[in-house]
Chains A and B, each alone.
Chain A
Amino acid sequence: MNRTMITATNTLAQLQKQMEIVSHNVANIDTAGYKRREANFTDLLFQQFNNQRNPNAETARLTPAGIRQGVGAKLAQSQIVMKQGALKATERPLDLAFTKEGQYFRVLEQTEDGAAVRFTRAGTLYLTPVSENETMLVTGDGLPVLDENNNSIIINGQAKNFKVTETGSFLAEAANGSIQEFNLGVVLINKPQFLEQKGDNLLGLSDGVDGDGIFTELNGALRGQIGMAQGSLEQSNVDMSKEMTDLINLQRAYQFQSRSVSMADQMMGLINGIR
């Protein structure tokens, strides 16, 4: 059989996967704190054909015996790119942005298996009432933002002014001038490729994996490393022109492969046409 067709269709399917990643990036170009993914290819397995039945006839050959034929390319990995996104000033006191790479808020998500800690850089925070006299700090999706001890942040009474320091302290000032202080929970991710994208702009550990070495909780003395800005939002780090260039390149690669398929088809037509 004509292996051209197999090679080309293998690759077509993989190119389509990369196209899906590119379009996901473009779709999230306006998602605050979104980190783009970059896909890379590798070649598929090579097969060896022993084409020399008489090795003595080719003694002068310097290369290893046989010929090796590959069967296309596959998507090797899609890596999350942690580069800093641009900061957009919003002047809203509960919009927070990280100014250093790799730092994430800790939030609590309720899953089927119970509560799980997730990480996000989307800093559009809100307050939601939890009882008559208490409000809780939550993300745009309503997930509780955690403090450095992994407790949710609950403000007693009516607060009117909010201040967030550069190192992640959250200060709520009540009408009578009393101030409640919370330390926002921040992690530094060391091995970002090990985290799963959980949807809703959240990152998290895979089931049954402990976070040892994958991230560091920036607590205590490490809080000095935190870089946070109030009244700003971090834009996604997707670069439209780069994504479009990738898309064009991809589409051409797709075209080349489909040309190979039709060429293989015509070759098979020629074989059929011998008689």
Chain B
Amino acid sequence: MFRGFYTAASGMLAQQRRTEVLTNNMANANTPGFKADQTSLRAFPEMLLQRMGQQTVPTENGLNLPFNGEVGRLTTGVYMQETLPSFMQGDMKETGMNTDLALLDLNLPVNPDTGLRGSVFYAAAGIDGEPRYTRNGNFTIDGGGYLTTASGLYILDDAGERIQLSSDRFTVSEDGVITGEAGETARLGIMYAQNPESLRKEGDGLFAATEESVLENAYNAPNVQFKLQQGYLERSNVDASRTMTDMMTAYRSFEANQKVLQAYDRSMEKAANEIGRIG
């Protein structure tokens, strides 16, 4: 009967989920190295409507022939299919802290399959021992002198080892070589993802690799150029005004779907109360 009833409801659900993702982006507008999530909505599978009827052939007795005709296609709603981080470079912010490092993309090859650029990341050791990748260069030195992320995960060098420093008075060159105060050297592990879209976001600024995304050492990757800047942080790439506009659009779309739902309800009210009325 009223086929669009649940379609309108699915529209509300999808827009609500979009608002949730946009709010999280807005919440992280000041998070260093945060990559904004983009949402994509997708229609549910289409249905093909057919009608069944009869055709009367004008003969003497009247001959009825069964008939099947196509009415057309009907999509049955919408859902949020995926959240896809945008790996666009964030702005640079000067902090003057030795332990703040910003990764600046210079030249990253475009993937011919997806038409998107790759991305470079710092390598960190996850709690489970598996590698994690991050763009948040707000590092610190722990009690043992190891370079860690803000939440204490070890930052790895290009051989996958922890980086130990004698003090926070160290220098980092543009190509990732760390020289400590006592002369110790290490090279920051920078990894290159050809398909950063296939990384899985985990929170705490971390990305985890999946089967589709095997990260390689960025120093050896062909045509990959990047630069490190000490004393700077890469800011979040969330555009606050755009996010706010998107949220308003999502809100209005939610409202419109609610109105459609109400219109359906009024139609049903007619069917229930007026059609069946006697006298």
Q: Point out residues on A near B: beta carbons under 8 Å.
A: 2-4, 7-8, 10-11, 38, 40-46, 51, 57-58, 61-64, 67-73, 76-77, 79, 81-83, 101-102, 190-194, 209, 213-214, 249-250, 252-253, 256-257, 259-260, 263-264, 266-267, 270-271, 273-275
Contacts and interface: CB of A to CB of B under 8 A. Distances in A.
B120 to A, nearest CB: 19
B27 A8 contact: yes
B145 A213 contact: yes
B258 A273 contact: yes
Given A77-B138, A274-B262, A61 B82 contact: yes
Interface in B137-190: 138, 140-145, 150-151, 166-169, 181
Given A43-B205, A191-B141, A257-B26, 5 more contacts: A45-B204, A68-B83, A70-B201, A76-B151, A192-B168
Contacts of A191: 141-143, 145, 167-168
B136 A42 contact: yes
Interface of B: 12, 16-17, 19-21, 23-24, 26-32, 34, 37, 45, 79-84, 95-97, 99, 113-114, 136, 138, 140-145, 150-151, 166-169, 181, 195, 197-205, 210, 212, 233, 240, 244, 247, 251, 254-255, 258, 261-262, 265
B114 A43 contact: no
Given A63-B198, A69-B21, A256-B26, A41 B258 contact: no
Nearest to A205: B143
A39 B239 CA distance: 21
Contacts of B261: 274
Contact of B37 (A2, A11, A70, A71): A70
A260 B250 CA distance: 12
A81 B244 contact: no
A259 B246 CA distance: 13
B24 A70 contact: yes
Chain B contact residues, majority secondary structure: mixed
Chain A contact residues, majority secondary structure: mixed
Task: Name, among A8, A43, A192, A267, the residue most crowded by chain B CB atoms within 10 Å (CB to CB).
Answer: A43
Contacts of B145: 190-191, 213
Nearest to B145: A213
A2 B17 CA distance: 8
Task: Name, among A8, A256, A273, the residue most crowded by chain B CB atoms within 10 Å (CB to CB).
Answer: A256
Given A41-B32, A193-B168, A64 B16 contact: no
A148 to B, nearest CB: 20
A40 B210 CA distance: 28
A240 to B, nearest CB: 16
A83 B96 contact: yes
A73 B31 contact: yes
A81 B97 contact: yes
A67 B83 contact: yes
Nearest to B9: A274
B240 A266 contact: no
A67 B261 CA distance: 26
Task: Name, among A44, A63, A264, the residue most crowded by chain B CB atoms within 10 Å (CB to CB).
Answer: A63
Given A42-B205, A43-B34, A71 B143 contact: no
Contacts of B244: 256, 259
B82 A7 contact: no
Contacts of B167: 102, 190-191
Contacts of A263: 19, 247, 251
A209 B24 contact: no
Contact of A46 (B26, B114, B202, B233): B202
8 tightest A-B CB contacts, nearest first: A190-B167, A76-B150, A11-B27, A45-B203, A70-B24, A46-B203, A72-B27, A41-B31
Contacts of B143: 191, 194, 209, 213-214
Contacts of A249: 30
A3 B22 CA distance: 11
Nearest to A268: B16
A51 B247 contact: no
Nearest to B202: A46
A212 to B, nearest CB: 9
A82 to B, nearest CB: 8
A62 B114 contact: yes
Given A63-B198, A253-B30, A77 B254 contact: no
